[in-house]
Amino acid sequence: MTIRTHSEMIQLHSFEDRFEYLRLRGSVGKDTFGFDRYMNQRFYNSVEWKRVRDQVIVRDNGCDLGVKGYEIYDRIAIHHMNPMVVDDLRHGNNDILDPEYLVATSHNTHNAIHYGDASKLLRLPPARFKGDTKLW
């Protein structure tokens, strides 16, 4: 398994390249935690998680995948670049609270990363310029 890092991802400048770097190609409906879901819910309500979540949002300027021009105006999700598993919570893996392995995403981008479905991504309109009279 390849370990993904924020430091490596920010070397990629386009939103599309960052998406491809993070894309997991998972399957819809596959449980991450199954009957242990209570564990990740407890984690996501912890003071430690909320603190690091806020740090990641500030670091990424509230932008999807930290890309300027992709500001998130809705609820912001924080994506674990290396999927979190039950054992990470059971054994206290510090990586799940390390901003180096986290990135701010929109809800649609987060789902697109997990399910490998690029059709869920926000598409920006083409750039306009002075004198441009063509409709999109």
Residue 76 DSSP SS3:
coil
Q: Which residue has the higher pLDDT, 36 or 97?
A: 97
User: From start to end of 1-136, where are the E strands?
Assistant: 77-80, 102-105
Q: What is the mean pLDDT of residues 78-91?
A: 89
pLDDT in tens, 113-130: 988 778 878 766 666 677
| Domain positions in the chain | 6-120
Q: What is the mean pLDDT of residues 88-94?
A: 88
Q: What is the pTM of this model?
A: 0.83
pLDDT for 27 beyond 60: no
Give the confidence band of 29 by pLDDT, cuts at 50, 70, 90: very low
The answer to whether 26 and 75 are in contact (CB under 8 A) is no
